[in-house]
C-alpha cells in the first residue's frame, strides 16, 4: 500500500491535515489505533481561538459550528471576593473565542473525511516507523490481526503525547523540555446552565476553579485538586461546595447546580520536543507539545501546526517548492514557545502551589490585578487568548 502522506492518529490534528490535503488533491491515509466511535466521543477541549475558527470556515467546515458554537467576548476573573472582567474582544480590536466542544469538531472533521471517501484505518495501532531519514518512509501497523505496511512520501505524526512517532526521532537528535505541575484539575460536566454567558475563573486561596460552557444547558467546571486525585473521592456535595466557595462573589449570580454527568481528573504538564521534524517525519499537535489546559491552547496549537504543515505540503506537491517544509519546525516552535509562555504563566498565576509562602501568593494577586486592571495587561491576555498569528 502506498500514499503521498501517511498520517498517524485520527485526532483533530490528523483529521484536519487529511481534510486540508484532500481539498488540494493530495492523497493521504490515516492510521488510528482506537475505534472510530471512541475517537468521535472523547471529551476534551472546549474553546476555539479566532485563527482556528477562520480555518474551519475557510475549509468549508463552518456549518454545524455556525449553529452550535457560542462566541465569547470576555472572561470574568474572580479574586479578592470581586468580579474582574477582561473584555478580550474589545482589548484585541474585535477578535473573539468560541465555545465549541472538541468532540463536535472531531465529528465535523470525521464526517467530512467519511463523505469524501477517505482511506482511514481504525483499531489499527502503529507499531513503528521505518526509513524516515533515508526517504523510504514506511508506517508499520496492525489491522484485522495482521501486520500491515504503508509506504509514504511523508509521515505526519499526529499521534498525541503517548504515540510512537516522537520516539522515531533518535534520542540524540531531539531535545525535550518538560515541567509537571504539583496539581491537576477535577473536571465535571453538569446539566446546569451557566449563570452568566461568560467563562469564569475562580482564583481563590483554597485553589483554582473554572466555570466554562458546553451548551446553553450544560456547563464544564474544573477544580484544582491533587495530581493523583481519585474522582470518586469527590462527592457531588463536596464538588458544589468547593465550586461555590471558589467562584461565587457578591453581586453576581451564583454557580447553578445540576446533575453531574461526567467526572474526571486531568494532570497538568508543559512539554515541548524540539525539533518537530526529522527527515520525512513531521510532528503536529500533542505529539510534539503539551500545555496545561488553563489557556485553552492544546487543541488550538494542534490546529496551528497543521495549518503550517498543510501549507508546506501543498507548496511542495503543487509548486515543487520546499521552503515551508524545510522550515516547518522553526515556524511552529517560534509560535509554540510563546504559547508555552502564556499557558505556563497563567497556570502559575492562578493556582495555589504547595509550599508557596505569603510573598509568592501576594505576587500572584499583584499579577492578577495588573492583568485585569491595566490596558497593557488586558491587551496581553487578549492577544494570547484569542490566538497569536500563525506561520509568521
Ligand atoms: P490527540 O491526542 O487528540 O489524538 C492523537 C490520536 O492518535 C488519538 O486518537 C490516538 O488514539 C492516536 N494514536 C496514539 N498512538 C497511536 C498509535 N501508536 N497508532 C495509531 N494511532 C495512535 N486542550 C484544551 O485546549 N482545553 C482542554 O480543556 C483540554 N482538556 C483535555 C483533557 C484531556 C483528558 C486530554 C487528554 C487533553 C485535553 N486537552 C485540552 C488537550 C487536547 O485537546 C489536545 O490538545 C488535542 O486533543 C490535540 O489533538 P491531537 O494532536 O490530534 O492529539
Ligand atoms: C474549557 O472550556 O475547557 C476551557 C475554557 C477556557 C480556558 C480553558 C479551558 O481558559
221 lines ligand 2 (CB under 6 A): no
pLDDT of res. 171: 97
Which atom, in ligand 1's list, is nearest to the CA of 302? 51
What pLDDT, in 10s, does the model give residues 157-170? 999 999 999 999 99
Residues with CB under 6 A from ligand 1: 8-14, 31-34, 39, 44-46, 102, 125-126, 158-160, 163-164, 266, 285-286, 293, 296-299, 302
- Using pLDDT thresholds of 50, 70 and 90, give the confidence band for residue 391: confident
What pLDDT, in 10s, does the model give residues 317-345? 999 988 899 999 999 999 999 999 999 99
What pLDDT, in 10s, does the model give residues 55-105? 999 999 999 999 999 999 999 999 999 999 999 999 999 999 999 999 999
What pLDDT, in 10s, does the model give residues 247-295? 999 999 999 999 999 999 999 999 999 999 999 999 999 999 999 999 9
Q: How far is the CA of 369 from the centre of ligand 1 (A)?
A: 34
Ligand nearest to the CA of 221: 2
| Cα 149 from Cα 124, distance rounded (Å) | 11
pLDDT of res. 248: 98
Kindly report the pTM of this predicted structure.
Answer: 0.97
Percent of the chain with pLDDT over 90: 97
DSSP 169: S
DSSP 287: G
pLDDT of res. 260: 98
Give whole-number Cα distances, 49 to 21, 57, 70, 96, 303, in Å: 22, 13, 12, 7, 10
31 lines ligand 2 (CB under 6 A): no
| Cα 323 from Cα 326, distance rounded (Å) | 5
pLDDT of res. 322: 85
Q: How far is the CA of 271 from the centre of ligand 2 (A)?
A: 19
Amino acid at each position: 500500500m502506498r500514499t503521498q502522506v501517511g498520517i498517524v492518529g485520527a485526532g483533530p490534528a490528523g483529521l484536519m491535515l487529511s481534510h486540508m490535503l484532500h481539498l488540494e488533491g493530495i492523497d493521504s491515509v490515516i492510521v488510528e489505533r482506537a475505534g472510530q466511535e471512541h475517537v468521535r466521543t472523547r471529551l476534551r477541549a472546549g474553546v476555539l481561538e479566532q485563527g482556528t475558527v477562520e480555518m474551519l470556515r475557510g475549509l468549508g467546515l463552518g456549518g454545524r459550528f455556525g449553529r452550535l458554537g457560542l462566541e465569547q467576548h470576555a472572561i470574568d476573573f474572580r479574586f479578592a471576593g470581586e468580579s474582574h472582567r477582561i473584555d478580550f474582544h474589545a482589548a484585541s480590536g474585535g477578535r473573539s473565542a468560541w465555545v465549541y466542544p472538541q468532540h463536535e469538531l472531531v465529528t465535523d472533521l470525521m464526517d467530512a473525511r467519511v463523505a469524501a471517501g477517505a482511506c482511514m484505518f481504525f483499531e489499527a495501532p502503529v507499531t513503528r516507523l521505518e526509513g524516515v531519514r533515508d526517504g523510504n518512509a514506511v508506517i508499520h501497523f496492525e489491522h484485522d490481526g495482521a501486520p500491515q505496511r504503508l509506504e509514504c512520501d511523508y509521515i505526519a505524526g499526529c499521534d498525541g503525547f503517548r504515540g510512537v512517532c516522537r520516539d522515531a526521532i533518535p534520542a540524540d537528535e531531539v531535545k525535550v523540555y518538560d515541567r509537571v505541575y504539583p496539581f491537576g484539575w477535577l473536571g465535571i460536566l453538569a446539566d446546569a446552565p451557566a449563570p452568566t454567558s461568560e467563562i469564569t475563573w475562580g482564583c481563590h486561596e483554597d485553589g483554582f476553579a473554572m466555570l466554562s460552557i458546553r451548551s446553553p444547558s450544560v456547563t464544564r467546571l474544573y477544580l484544582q485538586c491533587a495530581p493523583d486525585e481519585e474522582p470518586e473521592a469527590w462527592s457531588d456535595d463536596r464538588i458544589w461546595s468547593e465550586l461555590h466557595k471558589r467562584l461565587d462573589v457578591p453581586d453576581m449570580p451564583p454557580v447553578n447546580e445540576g446533575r453531574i454527568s461526567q467526572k474526571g481528573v486531568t494532570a497538568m504538564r508543559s512539554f515541548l520536543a524540539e525539533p518537530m521534524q526529522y527527515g520525512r517525519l513531521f510532528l503536529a499537535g500533542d505529539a510534539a507539545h503539551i500545555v496545561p489546559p488553563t489557556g485553552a491552547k492544546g487543541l488550538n496549537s494542534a490546529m496551528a501546526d497543521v495549518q503550517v504543515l498543510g501549507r508546506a505540503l501543498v507548496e511542495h506537491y503543487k509548486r515543487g517548492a520546499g521552503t515551508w517544509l524545510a522550515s516547518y519546525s522553526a515556524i511552529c516552535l517560534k509560535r509554540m514557545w510563546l504559547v508555552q509562555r502564556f499557558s505556563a504563566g497563567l497556570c502559575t498565576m492562578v493556582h495555589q502551589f504547595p509550599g508557596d509562602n505569603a510573598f509568592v501568593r501576594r505576587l500572584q494577586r499583584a499579577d492578577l490585578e495588573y492583568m485585569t486592571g491595566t490596558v497593557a495587561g488586558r491587551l496581553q491576555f487578549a492577544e494570547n487568548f484569542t490566538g497569536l498569528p500563525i506561520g509568521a
